[in-house]
Structure 1
Amino acid sequence: MRDLRLRFGGVKAVDGLTFDAYAGEIISVIGPNGAGKTSAFNCITRRASGLPTAIDRGRRAAGRAAPRAGSPAAT
């Protein structure tokens, strides 16, 4: 994963996350509450699923935000 970014308005939830993951590795993410761990995980799993993402390297994908999880458009 290279240079993952996610913003909510003017708030940077994830800013420039980069890491390598190899088959068979277990990776942990640690940090204080509000550090963006869950936001990063949600971005990564959404990108890996092939679903449209709201953020792709800091730009809106296809010019529109992805549907929120649990919304009718997301299912």
Structure 2
Amino acid sequence: MLLNEMIIDENNMAFIPSLGTSYQLNKTAREIIDLLKQGKTKDEIVKIITDETGANWRDVYIDVEDFFQKLKVYGLIQ
């Protein structure tokens, strides 16, 4: 999984050395990637973000699912 080699700096700029690509992340995207690197599942990530923000579970799930689809399009996860 290319996500595991992603390096993220203090400005949330992510870099994948093997591809030579970089991405600007927001705070939530960085948190999702950090949680994925820790081995958390999508449902665990949704629960963590919901608990932290107090947002509606369904809304968080939709946003996380959308982000997962983007990661798949970029070939960063399967």
TM-score normalised by length of structure 1: 0.32
Higher-Rg structure is 1
* Between structures 1 and 2, the one with greater helix share: 2
